[in-house]
Structure 1
């Protein structure tokens, strides 16, 4: 069964994701470390998990439980990479679908940005979410949940 995992700390599309998952009949697990207040979800398919405070504690919780039929919503590129490594699907809050083909470049770009900030350059940060981003997110999540619920074709055996 497919489960939608949401990296809940600072997720700007949590409510939208829960609504789409409810429509698909998919359970949702919102994981956060409690650094920001989280209000209870109105959706019956949503479980809220509060983990201990600390760097990557929520990420570790998700990465330790996500499986190949699942989907994760996260803006954390390393967490997305960890999810992809399990065979799961991942997407960002602006609707960018992470794949094995694009995650390497995203990780490299993240490291370059980190290095530039360390040497004192301002990298600007992410652009604010707009209507177009939310629409792209909704379309991408709908597509990923539909795909995740279909059985994957068996892998071809090497000759």
Structure 2
């Protein structure tokens, strides 16, 4: 059975996941190391993990299965989920997969090094309406595709 796992601590699309999960009657897990105030549906579970580094990522990796969906912007968690044959969607609606994850990890490592050496400063593009719309479309299309299998 298809399950959605959300790396929820800094996820900008929790409300969208809740709507889509409810519409498709899917079980979802919002995994966080901070309390989430949002009301959840009957099949949506709040999982509060210890505040240790990567604890939410570890929980998701431990529970996710082949064909499940992970929602995360964390490149390393995405890589871990892909190795378990899960589908991984970034909150901006882009899919991480075997074709692009190695390049994403390499770019993440390069940018980390450049920030540490002072060559670049941190910059995260703001989350836009188009990102939210693309995410909804990608999540819906992914679920429809998986239901047809």
TM range (shorter): over 0.9
1:39 is aligned to 37
2:4 is aligned to 4
How far apart in 2 are the matches of 1:139 and 1:56?
A: 29
Shift of 1:107: 0.4
Which structure 1 segments of 5+ residues have no match?
152-159
Q: TM-score, normalised by structure 2?
A: 0.95
Root-mean-square deviation (CA, aligned residues, Å) is: 1.2
Decide whether the 8 Å contact of 1:81 with 1:103 is kept in 2: yes
What secondary structure does 2:45 align onto?
strand
Decide whether the 8 Å contact of 1:69 with 1:149 is kept in 2: no
Describe how 1:63-102 pairs up with structure 2 within 5 A: 63-102=61-100
2:138 is aligned to 140
Change in Cα spacing, 1:112 to 1:134, as seen in structure 2 (3 Å) is same
How far apart in 2 are the matches of 1:148 and 1:63?
A: 20
How far apart in 1 are the matches of 2:108 and 2:147?
A: 31
1:19 is aligned to 19
Shift of 1:121: 2.6
Decide whether the 8 Å contact of 1:63 with 1:83 is kept in 2: yes
Shift of 1:145: 1.7
Q: How many residues align?
A: 149
2:109 pairs, out of 104, 108, 111, with: 111
1:128 pairs with 2:126? yes
Decide whether the 8 Å contact of 1:73 with 1:92 is kept in 2: yes
Deviation readout 1:23-45 (Å, 9 max, x if unpaired): 111111000011xx411424222
Q: TM-score, normalised by structure 1?
A: 0.89
Which structure 2 segments of 5+ residues have no match?
none
Decide whether the 8 Å contact of 2:4 with 2:70 is kept in 1: yes
Decide whether the 8 Å contact of 1:70 with 1:148 is kept in 2: no
